[in-house]
Each structure stands twice: as C-alpha cells, then as structure tokens.
Amino acid sequence: VGYRFTEENAEPPLPKIPCHPIGYGAAANILSRLGGMEIPPGSAMSGGLAITYRTGPEFLEPAMKIQLNVTTRNERAKVENVFGIIKGTVEPDRYILIGNHRDAWIYGAIDPSSATAVMMELARVIGDLVKSGTWKPRRSIVFCSWGAEEYGLVGSTEWVE
C-alpha cells in the first residue's frame, strides 16, 4: 500500500538545520581557521584542500564568528518524473530501467548533469539502432528521469510506490 510523501512521514526526516552551499574559497577560508586537534593528512577526516585540517568546533582566533543569513521557504512544489520507453520484442512486460535524477542542490552540480547526458546519449544510440532495424531489445527499456532526488528520493520513491 502506497502513501503520499509528506514532511510528517519523511524517513529520514527532512533536515531542520539551515544550510547553504559555499564555494571552494569560502570553505578553505573557514576550514583553515578551525581550532581543535590536528587531523593527520591522509586520514578519513582530512580533505583535499591545501590546509591543515582540525576538528573544531572552536576557531584558532577565539573572537572569530561566522554569520550565515539563510532565507528559506517551505513550500509545496510539483515533482515531475519523465519517462521514455522502447518496447521489448520478446518479453515486453519485463523491464530494464536506466535512470537518473535531474535536480541538484546548487548550479553546476556534476552528478545529475553528467548522468543525464549519459542517459540521453544512451537513449539516442539505442533509439537509432531500433529505428534502423539493426537491433531490437528483448525486454522493454525504460529511460527514467526522476525529480526531487535531493529532497529524500521523492520522485523515484513515489514512482515505485
């Protein structure tokens, strides 16, 4: 039995801590000023910036503070999933899913963009093969473009349910 995805039944719950994406320069500036114990280079807690990583939470300069003004709105928005289907010739009721989400937290995020480009190229190449009669799939192929992945896999979850 399916149910509608709401804030109340979100698992895990939607985040309550305000957050905002920052760039490389701002991250390096903040992380380089953290105090606390030094994190050994190469450990799981160290990153790729050319700085000395520390545990925090205090800063090296005790008077230093960061102020972040985040304006967010909780609002309902329409989530859309987009599908393309190439029907199978032998087992059309069995499916191969090729999918990706297309939303991102910030402009220029690489994972949805690169995966969508790959999926679109696969759809084009497979579609050309089918149209030319060179090849036909045994099973149906469904190209899936899901919305609202960044908000708790909403698009794909709703589709499955």
Which positions are catalytic? 149
CB 79 within 8 A of CB 147: yes
CB 60 within 8 A of CB 34: yes
SS3 143: strand
Dihedral through CA 22, CA 26, CA 27, CA 28, nearest 10? Answer: 160
